[in-house]
Amino acid sequence: MKFFIDTANLDQIREANEMGVLDGVTTNPSLMAKENIKGDEACRRHYLDICNIVDGDVSAEVIATDFEGMVREGEELAKLHKNIVVKLPCTAAGIRAVKYFAERGVRTNCTLVFSVGQALLAAKAGATYVSPFVGRLDDISEDGVELVAHIVRVYRTYGYKTQVLAASIRHTNHIIKCLDAGADVATCPLSAIKGLLKHPLTDIGLEKFLADHAKVNGL
Ligand code: E4P
């Protein structure tokens, strides 16, 4: 399973990249706003900064909600860098834009997916990635991981090539469950990625190794 980091924060992207396990980045308008990135020019520069840190796919989301606007914005984003993936919402116009870009060899991430039906449309239109939002479904007492598993089953049954990108991951256990569900990618906050490292027996074991080494060496 590939790991993307779900942030527009350059320090966090650098930190995850330095761990050596990062395969890409996802952003969205809320994450860009959190970093106070305003205006088209600043957004474009920021996407380029991200692409210069990580050698992997970087999802950049359109703001337009109409087909023509999505195409215009998506084409500009795709021109920025070879690793940019145009992120489009799962609406009628968004699905049409996914199809438009697929026919022209531009990679897309169909986002804000909350049902198998939406994921089916994204795959039929030729999306590179589909993003089911795990945490937001859990927030309303639905099972986000089960949706990931269901989409994976359907895609494998019918041979769709669209990769299932588990999004809205909130914690480490979501990552483990998405592994079991067969997700191709999980996009996670840095805290969840770092959480995978944590185990008290690792800390206790290392402390003992170092103590034994110090004792025998008279340190
Ligand atoms: C997906 O690509 C989105 O950026 C993201 O995962 C949304 O997560 P949230 O529900 O934590 O905002």
CA distances from 126 to 100, 111, 151, 154, 217 (A): 9, 13, 15, 15, 62
Residue 167 DSSP one-character state:
B
Q: What is the pLDDT of residue 51?
A: 98
Both tokens assigned to 213: 């080494």
CA distances from 107 to 33, 59, 89, 127, 207 (A): 24, 9, 14, 7, 47
Among 199, 142, 140, 197, smallest CA distance to 3 is for 197
Q: Which amino acid is at 75?
A: E
Identify the band that residue 91 occupies on the pLDDT scale cut at 50, 70 and 90.
very high
Q: SS3 for 117?
A: helix
Q: What's the gap in Å between 105 CA and the centre of ligand 1?
A: 25
Using alpha carbons only, give the angle 187, 163, 190 rounded to the nearest 5 degrees.
10
Mean pLDDT of 129-138: 98
> 97-115 pLDDT, tens per residue?
999 999 999 999 999 999 9
Q: What's the gap in Å between 102 CA and the centre of ligand 1?
A: 23
Q: Which amino acid is at 58?
A: V
Q: Is 6 in the pocket of ligand 1 (CB under 6 A)?
A: yes
Q: Which amino acid is at 150?
A: H
- Give the end-to-end CA distance of the chain in Å, rounded to a whole number: 43
Cα separation, 76 vs 156, in Å, equals 33
The catalytic residues are 87
Mean residue pLDDT of the chain comes to: 97
Q: Is 167 in the pocket of ligand 1 (CB under 6 A)?
A: yes
Ligand 1, atom 10: nearest CA belongs to which residue?
168
Cα separation, 52 vs 66, in Å, equals 30
Ligand 1 atom closest to residue 170's alpha carbon, by position in its atom list: 11
Query: What is the percent of the chain where pLDDT is above 70?
Result: 100
Mean pLDDT of 45-63: 98
Ligand 1 atom closest to residue 109's alpha carbon, by position in its atom list: 2
